[in-house]
Structure 1
Amino acid sequence: MTFTGLYVPLITPFDRSGGVALDALDALANRALDDGARGLVVLGTTGEPSSLTPAEQQAVLDVAARVCRARHAPLVVGANTSATLQNLRGHAEVTAALTVVPPFVRPGQDGAVAYLTRLATDSPVPLIVYDIPYRTGQYLSAAALRRLADVPGIAGLKYAAGGINADTVDLFADLPDLAILGGDDTFISPLLALGAHGGILASAHIATTEFVRLIDAWHAGDVAVARALGGRLARLSAALFAEPNPTVIKAVLHAQGHIPTPDVRLPLLPAHPDSTTAALTAAEHPLATPHT
């Protein structure tokens, strides 16, 4: 399985002049890999790509590509159209594109599968399909996801169904030949227990090493360690997602001195101080090592 372990979907830090803080982005990328992340994701939802100019998007991609090239780490890039996928051609560091199920249009399951099949056919890199129906408005059943698993050029699934439902159980009871990466941070531990291969987790900007340990523990069958980690990290994720992503994560990273400002761009608004305080408290709570 090519895509396993922890992938950190990087925020886009801004400096005090409002521009992209590229040095801070470089440091965040290296810190995530230093702390055990398998790879990085840029220009996903957490990176606020819709509020970046084309030049800023290219600068973010260039920084991440340089880091991943130097570190021999896989890089996944958010790209949702034929044009943006073609822009990835020639970037050897890019191992896949994170491609969302077509949002807003609600084309039906057959339409979504046909659209993603066409994108995969034309894409210069494999796709990781991002299934997040509470954002896109388009639900995909386990049967539809299995159809996508049979499409050449679709290598993975970022699964963010909003919880554990009947289709989740159906999907994991008979896993398709597809890398399944949990995308609901709060539910990552039960998804790993069911058989997920890893996660693309914005919460892993904070406590990166513990998220790595969580994935490794479930894969090793170390249930006691995994349960203890999973409970603590679920609380942390809930605190980090108390307001629209990535507002609280940015506020915490700024408070910890990792980025120059906590700024986001409209339509996002800065996190409330109470949310930041709650998330910092969750991040600093000591984790007892369970006896095994």
Structure 2
Amino acid sequence: MTLSGVYVPLITPFDAAGAVARDALEALAHEVLGAGAAGLIALGTTAEPGSLDRAEQATVVDLLARVCRDRDAPLLVGAGTPAALGALRGRPAVTAALSLVPPFVQPGEPAVVAHFSALAAASPVPLVVYHVPYRTGQQLSVETLRRLAALPGVVGVKLAVGAIGTDTVRLLADPPDGFAVLGGDDTVISPLLALGAQGAILASAHLATAGFVELADAWRIGDATRARALGHRLAELSAALFAAPNPTVVKAVLHAQGRIPTPAVRLPLLAPDDETVQVVLARLAALAGVSTPARR
């Protein structure tokens, strides 16, 4: 399987009673796919999965699986334990699982490889490793990423290391065959795509979806002039969206746009202040008002 393009890790909208707003979630899924997103992520960290009970998690996956099946789009599901992966068995609409590097315990790089080897052997779907060391506490060298890429059943990595360092450059200079590198740090996605990342998983792409798709397409065809200009503006948007913990600002802006019924998040998250939301709305307006250079 080949993963490329822009994937949107969908939020979980809530209604006024605090329940999952199914209609709003379905509409969001259709909107971002209609704007050119390659696929969707269900139960990613942007979806607040830790605050959802099992029934709510199943509701989200069922709904997004139906949308992706109807639109012939890939669906990745956040799942990093044998039990969570087992729940994906018998779901043909699920393309792969997005599996986090074990957080907090810092098991060491050999143990991370052993962990994913065992997960992949037991999983009914291929795995995409979610590497985000500033959250998990576990660094991975380029050599370890290559070892993970060589595991049967591991098809890619969501690379969110917080910066573009030597290991990232080395990985993208000689990417493993059949292994997709998907950028996961929204503010630096343009340089990652320029270096050769095949795609991205971006919470920011709930908003200005078509712009992020255009950015990925521009770097893919080598239109650096168009990509640089658009990338700078989208980085400013992403920085504003992450000025408070994700997905609080994304939800507040989607609510302000009338796309979800409430901006509600569940504890331990709190709503952002209004000034933060207004900054994003202003940047969206500016982005919409500036045309990108013509395609060659």
Which category describes the TM-score, using the shorter chain as reference length? Answer: over 0.9
Structure 1 moving runs of 4+ over 3 Å: none
What aligned pairs does 1:1-12 form with structure 2 within 5 A after superposition? Answer: 2-12=2-12
> Which residue number corresponds to residue 194 of structure 2?
193
> Which residue number corresponds to residue 148 of structure 2?
148
| Deviation (angstroms), 1:138 | 0.3
> Which residue number corresponds to residue 246 of structure 2?
245
> Which residue number corresponds to residue 233 of structure 1?
234
Distance in 1, matches of 2:54 and 2:13, equals 16
Within the alignment, does 1:22 sit opposite 2:25 as a pair? Answer: no
> Which residue number corresponds to residue 208 of structure 2?
207
> Which residue number corresponds to residue 113 of structure 1?
113
> Which residue number corresponds to residue 132 of structure 1?
132
Runs of 5+ unmatched residues, structure 2:
none
> Which residue number corresponds to residue 292 of structure 2?
289
Q: What SS does the corresponding residue of 2:84 show, helix, strand or coil?
A: helix
Distance in 2, matches of 1:166 and 1:93, equals 37
| Deviation (angstroms), 1:249 | 0.3
Q: What SS does the corresponding residue of 1:106 show, helix, strand or coil?
A: coil
| Deviation (angstroms), 1:38 | 0.7
| Deviation (angstroms), 1:213 | 0.3
| Deviation (angstroms), 1:153 | 0.1
What aligned pairs does 1:75-114 form with structure 2 within 5 A after superposition? Answer: 75-114=75-114
1:22-79 deviations in whole A, cap 9, x for unaligned? 1000000000110001100010000000000100000011110110111111100000
Distance in 2, matches of 1:8 and 1:64, equals 12
Distance in 1, matches of 2:127 and 2:283, equals 34
Give the letter for the 1:25 counterpart: L
| Deviation (angstroms), 1:222 | 0.4
Distance in 2, matches of 1:107 and 1:261, equals 40
Q: What SS does the corresponding residue of 1:271 show, helix, strand or coil?
A: coil
| Deviation (angstroms), 1:289 | 2.1
| Deviation (angstroms), 1:168 | 1.1
Distance in 2, matches of 1:66 and 1:118, equals 29
Distance in 2, matches of 1:26 and 1:289, equals 30
Distance in 1, matches of 2:253 and 2:212, equals 17
Q: What SS does the corresponding residue of 1:162 show, helix, strand or coil?
A: coil
Distance in 2, matches of 1:218 and 1:47, equals 28
Distance in 2, matches of 1:113 and 1:106, equals 13
> Which residue number corresponds to residue 43 of structure 2?
43
Give the letter for the 1:256 counterpart: Q
| Deviation (angstroms), 1:20 | 0.5
CA RMSD of aligned residues (A): 0.9
What aligned pairs does 1:54-93 form with structure 2 within 5 A after superposition? Answer: 54-93=54-93
| Deviation (angstroms), 1:117 | 1.2
Q: Is the CA contact (8 Å cut-off) linking 1:14 and 1:21 kept in structure 2?
A: yes
| Deviation (angstroms), 1:123 | 0.4
Distance in 1, matches of 2:109 and 2:123, equals 21
Count of residues paired in the alignment: 292
Distance in 2, matches of 1:122 and 1:131, equals 20
| Deviation (angstroms), 1:259 | 0.2
Distance in 1, matches of 2:167 and 2:207, equals 30
Distance in 1, matches of 2:235 and 2:141, equals 25
Give the letter for the 1:288 counterpart: S
Runs of 5+ unmatched residues, structure 1:
none
1:160-188 deviations in whole A, cap 9, x for unaligned? 01011111112112111210100000010
Distance in 2, matches of 1:289 and 1:40, equals 26
Distance in 2, matches of 1:97 and 1:197, equals 18
Give the letter for the 1:102 counterpart: P
1:93-117 deviations in whole A, cap 9, x for unaligned? 0000000000011001111111011
Distance in 2, matches of 1:132 and 1:287, equals 33
Distance in 2, matches of 1:205 and 1:284, equals 15
> Which residue number corresponds to residue 265 of structure 2?
264
Q: Is the CA contact (8 Å cut-off) linking 1:232 and 1:287 kept in structure 2?
A: no
